């Protein structure tokens, strides 16, 4: 089993990489995926998560062949 994990924007900079591949031996939740590929590092608050390009929460189940993407919170626009 293999799960592709991708990081974007400031998360990519903070972690020093843009992706990981998790050789999974079971099903994981998104939260468990983060813990497996980033041991000892808490998932940032308000992170946005997508599995196969659909937004999900941390309890979503991830399966073999899935892609999990983590995005920092987005702000912007003019005042």
Does residue 61 sit within a domain?
yes
Q: Mean of the pLDDT values across residues 52-71?
A: 96
Domain range for 32 is: 2-71
Q: Kindly report the CA angle at 13 between 18 and 30, in degrees rounded to 5? A: 55
> Using one digit for the tens of pLDDT, what is the confidence trace for 17-55?
999 999 988 899 999 999 999 999 999 989 999 999 999
Does residue 13 sit within a domain?
yes
**How much is the pTM?**
0.89
**Contact partners, residue 54, CB within 8 Å, separation at least 6:** none
Half-sphere exposure of 65 (CA within 13 A, CB side): 0
Identify the CATH number of the domain in which residue 55 sits: 3.10.20.30
> Using one digit for the tens of pLDDT, what is the confidence trace for 4-13?
999 999 999 9
């Amino acid at each position: 089993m293999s799960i592709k994990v991708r990081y974007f924007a400031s998360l990519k900079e903070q972690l020093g990489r843009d992706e990981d591949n998790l050789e999974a031996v079971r099903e994981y939740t998104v939260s468990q995926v983060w813990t497996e590929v980033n041991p000892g590092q808490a998932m940032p608050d308000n992170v946005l998560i997508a599995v196969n390009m659909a937004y999900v929460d941390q309890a979503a189940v991830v399966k073999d062949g899935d892609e999990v993407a983590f995005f920092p919170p987005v702000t912007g626009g003019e005042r």
